[in-house]
Amino acid sequence: MVSIGINDKILEDIQLVIFDRDGTMIDLYHYWSQMIKMRSVMICNELGLSDNHKNNLMSVMGIDVEKKKIKPEGPVGIKKREVVMQAAVDYLLSIKMGNKNDFCIKVFSEVDKISQDEVAKLISPIEGLYPLLEGLKSSGCKIAIATTDRTGRAELSVKFLKINDKIDFVIGSDGVECSKPAPDMINLILKKLNIDKTNTIMVGDAASDIKMGINAGVKAGIAVCSGITPEKKLSELTPLVIKDISEIKIY
User: Which tens digit of pLDDT belongs to each residue from 96-145?
Assistant: 999 999 999 999 999 999 988 888 888 999 999 999 999 999 999 999 99
Distances (CA, A) of 147 to 30, 56, 101, 209: 16, 26, 24, 9
The whole-angstrom separation of Cα 184 and Cα 162 is: 27
Q: Is the per-residue pLDDT at 67 higher than 90?
A: no
Q: How many Å apart are CA 4 and CA 203, to the nearest integer? A: 12
Tell me what percent of the residues of the chain surpass a pLDDT of 70: 100
pLDDT tier for residue 92 given thresholds of 50, 70 and 90: very high
Average pLDDT in the 73-87 region?
A: 92
The CATH number of 2-27+124-250, from 1.10.760.10, 3.40.50.1000, 3.40.50.300, 3.30.540.10, is: 3.40.50.1000
DSSP string, 43-80: HHHHHT--HHHHHHHHHHTTEETTTTEE-TT-STTTS-
What dihedral angle (degrees, nearest 10) is formed by the CA atoms of 172, 2, 247, 63? Answer: 10
Q: For position 223, what pLDDT does the model report? A: 98
| Closest alpha carbon to 112 in 170, 70, 172 | 172
Q: Please tell me whether the peptide bond between 239 and the residue prior to it is cis, using omega within 30 degrees of 0.
A: no
- Is pLDDT at 72 greater than 90 in this prediction? no
HSE of 237, CA atoms in CB hemisphere, 13 A = 27
| Residue 10: per-residue pLDDT | 97
Mean pLDDT, all residues of the chain: 95
> For residue range 178-218, what is the model confidence (pLDDT) as tens digits?
999 999 999 999 999 999 999 999 999 999 999 999 999 99
Q: Please count the other Cβ atoms lying within 10 Å of the Cβ belonging to residue 116.
A: 13
Name the packing angle between helices 28-47 and 51-60 (round to 10°): 130
CA distance 12 to 14: 6
- Distance (Å, whole) CA 147 – CA 205: 11
- Domain assignments of the chain as residue spans, ordered by start: 2-27+124-250, 29-121
Q: Is the confidence at residue 154, as pLDDT, over 90?
A: yes
- Mean pLDDT over 67-93 rounds to 93
CA distances from 181 to 15, 149, 153, 166 (A): 22, 14, 20, 25
Structure confidence at residue 118 (pLDDT): 83
- Which pTM does this prediction carry? 0.85
